Structures are given as C-alpha cells and as structure tokens.
C-alpha cells in the first residue's frame, strides 16, 4: 500500500508538491483571515510563488501566531467543523484545531499509509495504548487509520499495565501503539507476573512521543532496554496536531517517511533560511489538503535532519531522523508537548502555593522529566491531590510534584547574580 507518488522520481514529487502548493495558496487567500491579512500586509504576489524554493518569500507562522490569532486560522464555518482538537499553547491558553469531515478522511488516509509503512496489514490487530479522547488528535488518528486499513483495533487507552496484558492475552494484538517508556512498564509488569513476553503474539510496536534511535539510527538507551527483554520490532512515528500528518518508519527503520501528498517540509536555520542538505534545522511545514485549519510555513519548533537517499522499501521520499532537540524549554513529556507557561498558569491558580520551581531534566532513559518543587503552608496529601487533579484536567499529564521547604526553594529561585526569581531550571544539557 505505497501511494504511487511516494515511489515517483524526486522531480515528479517536487512538481506534484508545487501544484499542490498553488492550490493551498489560493485556498488560504480565499478562506483564511490570517493568511489573507498576511499576504496583503507583506505585499505577497501569489502568482510569484511557483516553486518550493519560492516559499522563502512568505513569512513563517509560529506557535505564538496560532495562539494569538487562533480563530483567524479557521477556514470553515462552524457547522462544517466535526472534531475539535486542542494543543497546549506556548502562551498558556490551549490552541484549538478544527477538523472537517474531509480532514478526518485525510487523517484516516495519513494514518493508514503510516501504518502501512510500519508493515501493518488488514489482517493485523492493533492495541491502542494512548488516549483517544481529551481532545487529543493522535489516538483518533490511529483509530481512523486502522479503520481505513481494515485492521482491528483495541482501544485500551493509556496506562494500567494489568489491563493492557489482560487485553493482549484475550484479543491477541499483533501490533501495539505506545509511548516507548510505557513499554518498560509493560515489561516490568510481565516479569512480576510470569507473563512470557516473547510468546505474547505482539510482533511490533509503533512508538510515539519519544525517540527510539540515535541520529545514526542505532537504538538509543530506551529502545535497547526494551529490546533486551522484549524482542519486538520498534517503529518510530513522529507527528503533531499542527501537521495533521505522521512521519513513520518503514521496515528499514531509517527515519520517518515524508508523505508528499499530505505536507510540504522545509528544514530552516535560525534565520528562516533553508539549511544545507543533511544539516539539522527546524522542521517547518505547510499542510496539503487540510480544510479546517491549514497552515503555511509553520515552524514546528522541532530540530530534525532530513535524509534524502532512496530507501530500500521502495519509497522515494525524504525521511526525518529522530528529533534532535526542541526550541528552548519545549518539554516532551509522556507523549505530549508542553511548555512551562502552561504549568505556571496552573500553579498560579492556587493561592495556597507560596512559591515554586519547575525543574526539567533528562532521566536515565534519555527522556524528559519534570519535577515541581512547591512551597506551601498547606503541605497535606489532600492539597497535593488537588494540584494533581488540576494538572490532569488542564494539562492532561501529571509531572512529579514534591513539597519543599520555603528557604530551600528560595535558594533555588534566587541564585547569585539573579534579580528575578527563577521559575524554570532546565537541567538538560
């Protein structure tokens, strides 16, 4: 199930994308208040944008733009919106994405061809170990993709290793979709309960949220730990709500494949100029075929390297290596992306919190950890639970939280030479 365009020559793919780009520009100029305004204020003559190289004439779109002008990005009337998705915005408030019926069809197609990359077939059964609700896009995309492919899907949702194993025993999935660090929890549970991992029937895992590989595509610490105990194929999938598109590894496991019929990609340097071939840069995307909230030259904040050599799987599309880093302070936590201001907002909701520090670090498996150190006069289990509930409700993930002494916290907040209190301590690299 490889779309013809993905096997075509580089020149054919480029010409195809350029034709699609023209359609996107026309669509935005007709339906998007934000881009209409941008084209006008920047004096952009759409007739002069004909090639992918011409894209640099158009200013990029940032996450801040999405937040500030959220409604202006939505291109359809309210009655055409079927599904509402939100992402945690950089400025604290969530950003809303509106999906139309066609957008959901597009999302299904996107995920079906992504599953096909990872070798999933109609006869397979997939166990979904990520959230399908809470206004997330990913779980929904997986469900729709499995439907499109004709594969079976078991919606267990995230967490609860016991339930996951019960379900694996009962329904015999051949693939699972999970955050890779959760696979370690499944392994731990299996070991404690005499479950024979390597006779579970699971042959592969499609992993979201955390990288599996080093830049040379060798396994990283996390995936080595998994593979040591559980001999299954690990496929990385990289996606985001803004992209409406996934980049999933094929059997060669040499980066996530670009689907040229769904998205245009650019890799940009600090000055928004394209990097030299093979150099890392910020992934910047333009969506193709999206009706509800299409984006043009959107800067994802993710630093990646593009690989353009032909792939042994037969696809002739660019592959993206593991995300190298994020723009400042971006935290990838338990499969979601968040920023300190969103946590500031939540913590600031509690008058009983005297002060706090957010510590971001790498744990021993190379993924991010968040530790909230909180000083309060109400250091009770009850209050801690209240904070946790608020985090789950607002942010949908829960960082580690500990109460700590006010004086100790002050030392952290006011290191020498600092006049402003430090609220975020980034201990990563």
Site residues (CB under 5 A) for Zn ion? 250, 252, 311, 313, 315
Least Å distance, CB 13 to Zn ion, is: 14
Query: Long-range CB contacts (< 8 A, 24+ apart) of 401-407?
Result: 401/371, 401/372, 401/374, 402/371, 402/372, 402/373, 402/374, 403/374, 403/375, 403/376, 403/379, 404/373, 404/374, 404/375, 405/375, 406/354, 406/355, 406/375
Q: Which is nearer to Zn ion, 309 or 349 (CB)?
A: 309
| Collapsed DSSP state (helix, strand, coil) of residue 338 | strand
Least Å distance, CB 315 to Zn ion, is: 5
For residues 289 and 1, what is the distance between their CA atoms, to the nearest angstrom? Answer: 20
Q: Which is nearer to Zn ion, 164 or 318 (CB)?
A: 318
Least Å distance, CB 37 to Zn ion, is: 40
Least Å distance, CB 317 to Zn ion, is: 8
Q: Which is nearer to Zn ion, 63 or 315 (CB)?
A: 315
Least Å distance, CB 288 to Zn ion, is: 20
DSSP bridge pairs for 6: none
Look at strands 281-287 and 263-268 and give their pairing. antiparallel
Q: Which is nearer to Zn ion, 74 or 149 (CB)?
A: 149
Separation of first and last alpha carbons in the chain: 41
Q: Which is nearer to Zn ion, 2 or 412 (CB)?
A: 2
Least Å distance, CB 118 to Zn ion, is: 10
Q: Which is nearer to Zn ion, 285 or 311 (CB)?
A: 311
Q: Which is nearer to Zn ion, 211 or 318 (CB)?
A: 318
Look at strands 263-268 and 83-87 and give their pairing. unpaired
Q: Which is nearer to Zn ion, 25 or 311 (CB)?
A: 311
Phi, psi of 326 (to 5 degrees): -125, 160
Q: In 3D, which of 218, 287, 244 has the Cα closest to residue 236?
A: 218
Residue pair 320/247 in contact by the 8 Å Cβ criterion: yes
| Beta strand extents in 179-251 (DSSP E only) | 204-207, 233-240, 245-249
Least Å distance, CB 150 to Zn ion, is: 22
Longest dimension (CA), the chain: 67
Least Å distance, CB 318 to Zn ion, is: 11
Least Å distance, CB 249 to Zn ion, is: 7
Q: Which is nearer to Zn ion, 234 or 311 (CB)?
A: 311
DSSP conformation class of 187: H
Residue pair 204/175 in contact by the 8 Å Cβ criterion: yes
Least Å distance, CB 278 to Zn ion, is: 17
Query: Long-range CB contacts (< 8 A, 24+ apart) of 46-50?
Result: 49/21, 49/22, 49/25, 50/18, 50/22
Dihedral, CA of residue 420, residue 90, residue 72 and residue 259, to nearest 10? 150
Q: In residues, how long is the chain?
A: 429
- Looking from the CA of 266 toward its CB, the CA atoms found within 13 Å total 27
Tokens 């996951």 label which residue? Answer: 164
Q: Which is nearer to Zn ion, 178 or 313 (CB)?
A: 313
Least Å distance, CB 309 to Zn ion, is: 10
Phi, psi of 130 (to 5 degrees): -125, 165
Q: Which is nearer to Zn ion, 56 or 219 (CB)?
A: 219
DSSP conformation class of 219: B
């Amino acid at each position: 199930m490889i779309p013809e365009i993905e096997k075509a020559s580089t020149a054919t793919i480029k010409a195809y994308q350029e034709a699609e780009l023209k359609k996107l520009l026309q669509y935005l100029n007709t339906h998007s208040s934000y881009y209409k305004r941008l084209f006008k204020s920047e004096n952009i003559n759409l007739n002069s944008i004909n090639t992918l190289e011409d894209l640099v004439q158009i200013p990029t779109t940032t996450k801040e733009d999405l937040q500030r002008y959220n409604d202006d990005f939505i291109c359809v009337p309210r009655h055409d919106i079927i599904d509402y998705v939100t992402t945690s915005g950089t400025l604290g408030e969530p950003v809303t994405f509106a999906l139309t019926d066609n957008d959901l069809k597009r999302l299904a197609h996107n995920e079906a061809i992504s599953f096909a990359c990872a070798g999933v077939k109609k006869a397979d059964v997939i166990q979904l170990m990520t959230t399908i609700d809470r206004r997330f896009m990913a779980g929904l995309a997986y469900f729709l993709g499995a439907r499109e492919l004709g594969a079976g899907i078991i919606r267990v949702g995230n967490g609860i290793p016991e339930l996951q194993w019960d379900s694996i025993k009962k329904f015999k999935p051949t693939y699972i979709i999970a955050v890779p660090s959760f696979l370690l929890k499944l392994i731990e549970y299996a070991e404690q309960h005499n479950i024979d991992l390597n006779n579970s029937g699971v042959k592969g895992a499609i992993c979201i949220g955390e990288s599996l590989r080093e830049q040379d595509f060798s396994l990283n610490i996390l995936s080595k730990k998994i593979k040591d105990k559980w001999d299954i194929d690990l496929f990385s999938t990289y996606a985001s709500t803004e992209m409406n598109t996934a980049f999933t590894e094929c059997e060669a496991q040499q980066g996530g494949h670009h689907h040229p019929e769904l998205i245009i990609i650019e890799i940009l340097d600090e000055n928004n100029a394209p990097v030299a071939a093979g150099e890392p840069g910020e992934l910047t995307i333009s969506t193709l075929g999206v009706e509800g909230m299409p984006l043009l030259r959107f800067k994802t904040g993710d630093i990646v390297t593009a690989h353009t050599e032909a792939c042994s799987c037969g696809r002739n599309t660019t592959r993206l290596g593991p995300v190298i880093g994020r723009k400042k302070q971006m935290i990838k936590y338990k499969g979601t992306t968040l920023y300190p201001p969103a946590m500031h907002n939540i913590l600031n909701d509690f008058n009983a919190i005297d002060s706090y520090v957010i510590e971001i670090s790498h744990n021993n498996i190379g993924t991010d950890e968040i530790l909230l150190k909180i000083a309060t006069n109400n250091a009770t289990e009850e209050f801690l639970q209240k904070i946790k509930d608020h985090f789950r409700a607002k942010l949908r993930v829960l960082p580690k939280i500990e109460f700590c002494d006010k004086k100790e916290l002050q030392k952290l907040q006011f290191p020498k030479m600092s006049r402003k209190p430090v609220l975020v301590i980034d201990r990563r690299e």
